[in-house]
Amino acid sequence: MRVLLRGALVVAVLLGPGWAAAQGTDPDDVVTTEEEEEELLPYRGTSIVYENAFTALSMDPSAEPDYNPSYVMSWSFNPRYYLYDRLSARLGFSVEQEITNSDSTQDIYEPVVSDITLGFVYSPFYTIPVVDIRLGGGITFGFPTSKISQARTLYFSLAPSLSLARSFDVLGGLELSYSFKYNKNFNKYTGAVAEDTVFPCPSNLEDRTECFNMGSRNPSMSFSNTFTAQIYWFDKFYTTVQVGVINALLYPVAPAEVDTLGGPVTVEESPDNTDHRGSMSYAIEIGYDAFDYLSFALGVSTVNSQLRDDGEYWAPFFNRYSNIYFDVALSVDGLVQTIMGDGEDDEVASVEDRQLRAVAAR
């Protein structure tokens, strides 16, 4: 199946909802006074992102024996609401459509929906004295609204997370952060299945038994470590670099009873089974906060297995799974404040004000 939408969607579905490359500055990480918090809108950080993405190999028809270009447009909706102080509830949902000939949909130009995630985040819940490191935490619930999660018979997923962030007074502002997420999936079956309503599976057998198992084992749990560095070179121009390490543990393979002409035969688990999947994610992005409510970003991201088939490591950032994307992001609270005339003059706006209004929680 072709990697879709910068590769991130596939990993988010396979390893658990709620994973995404960090872009922009998270309003949770900005330190504010009590008076400033009272003036902030409760739905700050809410954003709508329109993205155009294509695989890097689409630009080079001779890169592989079969030329298979991919160009995808998507809309991401990220509502957020602060329930109390720094405790926020947030939803995540996206719809994408491939403009080129898709390898993963039954119909041309078929819209593809993502899983829906519901998260609760409290950040920062504590600031370590002296070193000024901010700690944040949360929990995210994932619901199988995407076809691939339904094929994997996912009931829901549960993902607690912990983050650390430190700001530095360098140029327009430097932010270093680390996040850890544990994701537990709850599936009906240990492997993916195929059904007419999910994925097409042609069969000549009356009971369609060969269509039941897609041959892909489901991940039971995963561990994600993400390192991010973001620097504002000027008031509105920033660069973000991110590296992630994802390790998934698969459901164990149980012995199977197979009916044969000579009677039932027990097929034991093979010692060659792989119970672990390791992946790497990379992203580099340059962005511009044109207005309090609108920002643009251009970047390259990739999600790939840790090792190639020959045992060597994949080249980071640029390999066969690399995607180039362009984002246009709308900050809902920034738009409301601009319409109401509450926006500040760009020349006097502080770094904290710009970070709060940046479209960060994409």
Whether residue 238 contacts residue 231, with contact meaning beta carbons closer than 8 Å, is answered with yes
As a whole number, mean pLDDT of residues 22-34 equals 51
| H-assigned helices in the chain | 8-15, 34-39, 147-151, 332-339, 351-357
Mean pLDDT of the chain: 81
Own/partner contacts of 158-163, CB < 8 Å, gap of 24 or more, are 158/183, 158/184, 158/186, 159/16, 159/17, 159/18, 159/183, 159/184, 161/18, 161/137, 162/135, 162/136, 162/137, 163/123, 163/135, 163/136, 163/137
Residue with the larger pLDDT of the pair 195 and 78: 78
In-domain check, residue 305: yes
- Tens of pLDDT, residues 30-57: 555 544 555 788 999 999 999 999 999 8
Grade residue 179 by pLDDT with cuts at 50, 70 and 90. Answer: very high
Own/partner contacts of 190-197, CB < 8 Å, gap of 24 or more, are 190/217, 190/218, 190/250, 190/251, 190/252, 190/253, 190/254, 191/215, 191/216, 191/217, 191/218, 191/251, 192/148, 192/151, 192/152, 192/153, 192/216, 192/217, 192/218, 193/151, 193/152, 193/153, 194/151, 195/151
Q: How far is CA 144 from each of CA 10, 77, 187, 217, 362, rounded to the nearest angstrom?
A: 13, 17, 10, 17, 20
Q: How far is CA 249 from each of CA 42, 155, 190, 261, 272, rounded to the nearest angstrom?
A: 38, 18, 12, 36, 15
In-domain check, residue 218: yes
Q: Provide the CATH number for the domain around residue 75.
A: 2.40.160.40
Whether residue 188 contacts residue 147, with contact meaning beta carbons closer than 8 Å, is answered with no
Whether residue 20 contacts residue 128, with contact meaning beta carbons closer than 8 Å, is answered with no
Grade residue 20 by pLDDT with cuts at 50, 70 and 90. Answer: very low
In the DSSP assignment, the letter for residue 40 is S
Domain that holds residue 218: 5-357
Residues 6+ apart with CB under 8 A from 240: 22, 23, 24, 228, 229, 230, 283, 284, 285, 286, 287, 299
User: Residue 243: what pLDDT?
Assistant: 96
In-domain check, residue 22: yes
- The count of domains in the chain is 1
In the DSSP assignment, the letter for residue 131 is T
Its pTM stands at 0.79
Q: Chain centroid to CA 107: how far?
A: 25
326 three-state secondary structure: strand
Asked whether residue 246 carries a pLDDT value surpassing 70, the answer given is: yes
User: Residue 27: what pLDDT?
Assistant: 54
Residues 6+ apart with CB under 8 A from 152: 144, 187, 192, 193, 216, 218
In-domain check, residue 278: yes
In-domain check, residue 111: yes
As a whole number, mean pLDDT of residues 47-75 equals 90
- Tens of pLDDT, residues 285-295: 999 999 989 99
Cα distance between residue 200 and residue 191, in whole Å = 17
Grade residue 127 by pLDDT with cuts at 50, 70 and 90. Answer: very high
Residue % of the chain over a pLDDT of 70: 77
35 three-state secondary structure: helix
As a whole number, mean pLDDT of residues 14-42 equals 52
As a whole number, mean pLDDT of residues 177-204 equals 79
Q: Lowest-pLDDT range, 181-185, 245-249, 272-276, 314-318?
A: 272-276
As a whole number, mean pLDDT of residues 105-117 equals 89
- Tens of pLDDT, residues 200-227: 555 555 555 555 665 678 999 999 999 9
In-domain check, residue 40: yes
User: Residue 85: what pLDDT?
Assistant: 85
In-domain check, residue 128: yes
As a whole number, mean pLDDT of residues 6-15 equals 39
Cα distance between residue 298 and residue 142, in whole Å = 28
Asked whether residue 349 carries a pLDDT value surpassing 80, the answer given is: no
In-domain check, residue 362: no
Grade residue 262 by pLDDT with cuts at 50, 70 and 90. Answer: confident
- Tens of pLDDT, residues 333-348: 889 888 887 655 444 3
Cα distance between residue 162 and residue 178, in whole Å = 8
